[in-house]
Amino acid sequence: MAEPAKPLTMDTIVSLCRRRGFVFPSSEIYGGLGSTYDYGHYGVLMKSNIRALWFRAMVQERDDIVALDSAIILNPRVWEASGHVAGFTDPLVDCRTCKLRFRADQLELASCGRKPSKRPGETPDCDLTEPRQFNLMFETHVGALQDESSTAYLRPETAQGIFVNFKNVAQLARRKPPFGIAQVGKSFRNEITPGNFLFRLREFEQMEMEFFVPPADADAWYRYWIDARRRWYLDLGLRGQNLRIREHGADERSHYSLATSDLEYLYPIGWQELEGVANRGEYDLTQHTRESGTKLEWIDQDGTRYTPYVIEPAVSIDRIMLAFLCDAYDEEVVGDRERVVLRLHPRVAPVKAAILPLVPRDEGMAGRARELYEELRRHYVVEHDESGQIGRRYRRQDEIGTPWAFTVDEQTLEDETVTVRDRDSLAQERLPISGVREWLDDALERAWSSPHSG
Ligand code: ATP
């Protein structure tokens, strides 16, 4: 396969997402809102595949993890107990010259407001203030009164909703440690340095799993989850050379963490955290026990009591989606034409197959293609496309990552076979139209690895 001619930039991904309706800037007709995006049709399909694949690996295919969907706005005392009201802050600096705000610990990733090529603080013109702490939680008010007593927060993580439900779930789920609770839902952070597309959003969809274990086993489970999460990405086709594990040093860890490792992906902006796996110890259950007065502990059948330790893999669908899109993006010249192709794992791809009549105005072909489409769409997200030349229709599907196209042609009308075209190899084979559904079932079960070596 041809190597991409130039290094991938975030702008290339942003423009593909926009052109093909994966993701748009939010409320764009009013000038947008910083770091908030809306997902269009293909974006929604891809997101829901990622969510379903995570849920399948974390809940459906395991005996030891149950699901939860807690509220976004919790009693504000939850966030006092968790330490977020006092400490969920980033160091902020203002530039008196360009009037922009930056995260003091990430100046090397930011662009100066006056000279986009320069980093803030690089030239004597930049006049940065001393860093001060800025709380990232969005505040709101619950009820009709807007005073201090009605202040509440949009959750900055889904994890706390799990901890405060520990007792409910442990009793009802009839599980004993080690067991986990998984949750997927929106989280909100008033990020200081937005930008970088889906990487850092103010509103994002988190997928977190809190795994409660006997303290003595915590380190082994921490290693287990780092490895399991790494394998999940590789099984879904992320290229190994773009994924690495980085263990945090003691000075870098959050206050609650006994150990943290990031699964980092090589985004166009460099190596950055895709997912974090942390050993949170007994911090959260102990804090909520102290502040709520409800004992969040485990009592074994022999009466031994202990506070379980928590191992947490935490990620957002948005960061996964960005990693998959960057990893999949490829440009190559086929014949004398250039094509853009998203080499997504078939299970991640928004559309599983396209059904195309070779000559749309031929009633026989159009009718057969429509029938096949109507049969397949009962099982999978598939598309039927009759507009334009066949080459152009193939390229439209390549650009959204559709792994296979079934084409109904003249021969179909004679012998009831269609061609299947493979997105990656461009190989075509014929198969009976009656066997297409089964062929697709098998193809989606097969292991897949990226042919993209760039
Ligand atoms: P960072 O250091 O990049 O701000 P973090 O360490 O604060 O991230 P965590 O609190 O560990 O992030 O959040 C867990 C996961 O949630 C991250 O690994 C990431 O996948 C996702 N996430 C966090 N903040 C954002 C955001 N602003 N936009 C999109 N995803 C996010």
What spacing in Å lies between the alpha carbon of 157 and ligand 1's midpoint? 9
DSSP code string of 243-310: EEEEEPPTTTS-TT-SEEEEEEEEETTEEEEEEEEEEEETHHHHHHHHHH-----EE-TTS-EEPPEE
Cβ–ligand 1 contact at 276 (below 6 Å)? yes
Tell me what pLDDT residue 117 has: 60
Tell me what pLDDT residue 324 has: 98
pLDDT of 3 strictly over 80:
no
Per-residue pLDDT band for 85 (boundaries 50, 70, 90) equals: very high
pLDDT > 70: percent of the chain: 98
**Arithmetic mean of pLDDT, 404-426:** 97
pLDDT > 90: percent of the chain: 82
**Arithmetic mean of pLDDT, 233-261:** 94
Per-residue pLDDT band for 148 (boundaries 50, 70, 90) equals: confident
Q: Tokens in use for 35?
A: 């770091």
Contact between 414 and 430 (Cβ < 8 Å): no
Cβ–ligand 1 contact at 280 (below 6 Å)? no
What spacing in Å lies between the alpha carbon of 394 and ligand 1's midpoint? 37
Rounded CA separation 242/222 (Å): 22
What spacing in Å lies between the alpha carbon of 363 and ligand 1's midpoint? 53
Q: What do you get for the CA distance between the two ends of the chain, in Å?
A: 9
Give the residue with greater pLDDT, 453 vs 286: 286
What spacing in Å lies between the alpha carbon of 66 and ligand 1's midpoint? 23
Q: Which of 326, 309, 282 is nearest to 10 (CA)?
A: 326
What spacing in Å lies between the alpha carbon of 88 and ligand 1's midpoint? 12
Cβ–ligand 1 contact at 275 (below 6 Å)? yes
* E strand or H helix at 429: strand 428-432
**Arithmetic mean of pLDDT, 407-433:** 97
Distances from the Cα of 303 to the Cα of 96, 354, 390, angstroms: 62, 60, 71
Cβ–ligand 1 contact at 260 (below 6 Å)? no
Cβ–ligand 1 contact at 204 (below 6 Å)? yes
Distances from the Cα of 361 to the Cα of 366, 389, 419, 425, angstroms: 7, 12, 19, 29
* E strand or H helix at 311: strand 309-316
Cβ–ligand 1 contact at 206 (below 6 Å)? yes
Distances from the Cα of 326 to the Cα of 126, 222, 312, 423, angstroms: 33, 28, 26, 17
Cβ–ligand 1 contact at 412 (below 6 Å)? no
Q: Tokens in use for 104?
A: 């003091």
What spacing in Å lies between the alpha carbon of 198 and ligand 1's midpoint? 11
Q: What is the pLDDT of residues 195-224, one digit of tens each?
A: 799 999 999 999 999 999 999 999 999 999
pLDDT of 404 strictly over 80:
yes
Rounded CA separation 189/72 (Å): 13
pLDDT of 107 strictly over 90:
no
HSE, side-chain direction, 13 A CA sphere, residue 46: 30
**Three-class SS of residue 224?**
helix
Q: What is the pLDDT of residues 151-207, one digit of tens each?
A: 999 999 999 999 999 999 998 888 899 999 999 999 999 998 767 999 999 999 999
**Arithmetic mean of pLDDT, 363-382:** 98
Tell me what pLDDT residue 194 has: 66
Per-residue pLDDT band for 440 (boundaries 50, 70, 90) equals: very high
Rounded CA separation 213/220 (Å): 10
H-helix segments, 181-263: 218-235
The atom of ligand 1 lying closest to the CA of 278 is 11
Rounded CA separation 249/286 (Å): 24
Rounded CA separation 321/50 (Å): 8
Distances from the Cα of 244 to the Cα of 115, 229, 323, 324, 329, angstroms: 33, 12, 13, 15, 20
The atom of ligand 1 lying closest to the CA of 191 is 27
* E strand or H helix at 430: strand 428-432
Among 316, 317, 320, which residue has the most ligand 1 atoms within 8 Å of its CB, making it the best to mutate?
316
**Arithmetic mean of pLDDT, 311-333:** 97
Cβ–ligand 1 contact at 277 (below 6 Å)? no
Give the residue with greater pLDDT, 149 vs 70: 70
Long-range contacts of the stretch 215-222 (C-beta < 8 A, 24+): 215/281, 215/282, 215/306, 215/307, 215/308, 215/309, 217/178, 218/258, 218/279, 218/281, 218/309, 218/311, 219/259, 219/279, 221/178, 221/311, 222/259, 222/261, 222/277, 222/279, 222/311
Cβ–ligand 1 contact at 104 (below 6 Å)? no
Average pLDDT of the chain is 94
pLDDT of 362 strictly over 90:
yes
pLDDT of 246 strictly over 80:
yes
**Arithmetic mean of pLDDT, 30-39:** 93
Distances from the Cα of 384 to the Cα of 339, 359, 361, 387, angstroms: 21, 13, 14, 10
| Strand-pair partners of 180 | 65, 211
pLDDT of 144 strictly over 60:
yes
Rounded CA separation 79/284 (Å): 11
Among 36, 90, 103, 273, which residue has the most ligand 1 atoms within 8 Å of its CB, making it the best to mutate?
273
What spacing in Å lies between the alpha carbon of 315 and ligand 1's midpoint? 7
Q: Tokens in use for 387?
A: 């507009």
Tell me what pLDDT residue 16 has: 98
Q: What is the pLDDT of residues 299-311, one digit of tens each?
A: 988 999 999 999 9
Cβ–ligand 1 contact at 318 (below 6 Å)? yes
For atom 30 of ligand 1, which residue has the closest CA?
A: 316
Lowest mean pLDDT among 248-252, 347-351, 427-431, 439-443: 248-252
